[in-house]
């Protein structure tokens, strides 16, 4: 067995999975509360990557950042997450809220509309070309090895650990804070939550804020890991985040994380091991989605529709 290939794909799968998990979390949270598949989510992720890029530029660019590389990365994360959080809140406010009581197909179409709008705005404003994060210059990518076969770079460590850190933070917000509990209450029974005095609008805004901020973090991670971003990067990533959420069980937070890593690993190992994998990795990923739909439509950790008490 070629262990260095195995570990290489493992690490790259976990890295990809970290990004997909962050996207899937936003999908699953919004679905949990609104029963809406927010197809614009992948594009918010793309905008996050671009905000990160422009913050980097504003800081003097990857070659000569005004602050040390890692601090620049931290600022990119912070600004992009806040900006996309606000973008997500705005999208919900103007594209989904007016349709809250409309038939369920209406907000779905609105979501596709927002997605097309964001993609085309990005093409118009930023063009179709790749933009460089130049991670090598920015933070000086280093590779660490354990033994002879296991390699991992500092950027991969950063990606995986930031993703896990944000997930834990999110879990704490949802399980411990008053607003987080209100989110859970609202997603279980919106009318009952309203009858407790919970402002549903505010809970939904907060949900979009969190989900979009996480997507932005994912977008920046993509830029750091692959060194480049582009206007249409949100499309495939959005689909994979969606796949991850469904495979994990849409509506389930741990499911989104599990699904994200599963998709990332599938993609990486398909690339390394399966026939035609380097070209058709996505085929294997989406095949997983179809198989999941066939054998367990509720996803790995999704509950079969609970009867409300």
Partner 1 sequence: MLLRLDNVDTYYGQIHILQGVSLEVNEGELVCLLGGNASGKSTTLKTIIGMVRPRRGAVQFAGEEVSGRPTSYRIGKGMAIVPENRRLFGPMSVKENLEMGAYLHGGGTKEDFERVYSLFPLLYERRRQLAGTLSGGEQQMAAMGRALMSRPKLLLMDEPSMGLAPILVERNFEIIKEVHESGVAILVVEQNANVSLSIADRGYVLQTGRIVLSGAASSLIKDEDLRKAYLGR
Residues found near partner 1 in the complex (CB under 8 A): 178, 181-182, 184-185, 188-189, 191-199, 306, 308-309
Q: Name which of 5 and 196 has its Cβ closer to partner 1.
A: 196
Q: Name which of 146 and 308 has its Cβ closer to partner 1.
A: 308
Q: Name which of 68 and 175 has its Cβ closer to partner 1.
A: 175
In the complex, the smallest distance separating the C-beta of residue 191 from partner 1, rounded to whole angstroms, is 7
- Cβ-in-10-Å burial (0-12, 13-18, 19+) of 104 comes to exposed
111 sits in which H/E element: helix 105-126
In the complex, the smallest distance separating the C-beta of residue 303 from partner 1, rounded to whole angstroms, is 8
Which residues of 128-230 form beta strands (DSSP E)?
Answer: 131-132, 143-146, 150-153, 228-229
Q: Name which of 97 and 184 has its Cβ closer to partner 1.
A: 184
Q: Name which of 76 and 203 has its Cβ closer to partner 1.
A: 203
* Token pair for 74: 């931290």
In the complex, the smallest distance separating the C-beta of residue 118 from partner 1, rounded to whole angstroms, is 31
Q: Are 155 and 141 in contact (CB under 8 A)?
A: yes
Q: Are 21 and 167 in contact (CB under 8 A)?
A: yes
Q: Residue 151 in 3-state DSSP?
A: strand
In the complex, the smallest distance separating the C-beta of residue 198 from partner 1, rounded to whole angstroms, is 5
In the complex, the smallest distance separating the C-beta of residue 193 from partner 1, rounded to whole angstroms, is 7
Return the closest-CA partner of residue 236 out of 23, 18, 88: 23
Q: Name which of 104 and 202 has its Cβ closer to partner 1.
A: 202
In the complex, the smallest distance separating the C-beta of residue 287 from partner 1, rounded to whole angstroms, is 32
Q: Are 24 and 247 in contact (CB under 8 A)?
A: no
**64 CB neighbour count, 10 Å cutoff:** 8
């Amino acid at each position: 067995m070629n262990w260095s290939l195995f570990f290489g794909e493992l690490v790259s799968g976990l890295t990809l999975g970290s990004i997909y998990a962050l996207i899937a979390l936003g999908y699953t949270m919004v679905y949990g509360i609104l029963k809406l598949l927010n197809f614009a989510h992948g594009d918010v992720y793309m905008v996050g990557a671009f905000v990160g890029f422009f913050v980097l530029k504003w800081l003097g660019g990857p070659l000569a950042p005004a602050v040390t590389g890692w601090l620049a990365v931290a600022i990119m994360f912070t600004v992009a997450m806040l900006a996309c959080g606000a973008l997500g809140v705005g999208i919900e406010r103007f594209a989904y809220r007016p349709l809250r009581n409309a038939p369920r197909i209406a907000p779905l179409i609105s979501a596709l509309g927002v997605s097309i709008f964001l993609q085309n705005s990005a093409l118009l404003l930023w063009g179709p070309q790749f933009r460089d994060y130049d991670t090598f210059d920015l933070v000086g990518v280093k590779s660490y090895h354990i033994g002879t076969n296991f390699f991992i770079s500092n950027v991969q460590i950063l990606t995986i650990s930031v993703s896990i850190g944000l997930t834990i933070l999110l879990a704490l917000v949802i399980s411990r804070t008053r607003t987080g509990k209100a989110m859970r209450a609202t997603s279980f029974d919106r009318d009952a939550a309203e009858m407790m005095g919970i402002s549903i609008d505010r809970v939904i805004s907060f949900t979009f804020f969190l989900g979009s901020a996480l997507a932005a973090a994912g977008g920046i991670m993509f830029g750091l890991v692959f060194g480049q971003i582009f206007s249409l990067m949100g499309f495939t990533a959005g689909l994979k985040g969606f796949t991850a959420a469904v495979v994990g069980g849409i509506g389930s937070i741990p499911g989104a994380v599990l699904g994200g890593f599963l998709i990332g690993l599938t993609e990486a190992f398909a690339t390394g091991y399966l026939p035609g994998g380097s070209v058709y990795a996505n085929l294997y990923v989406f095949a997983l989605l179809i198989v999941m739909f066939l054998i367990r439509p509720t996803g790995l950790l999704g509950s079969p529709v609970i009867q409300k008490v």
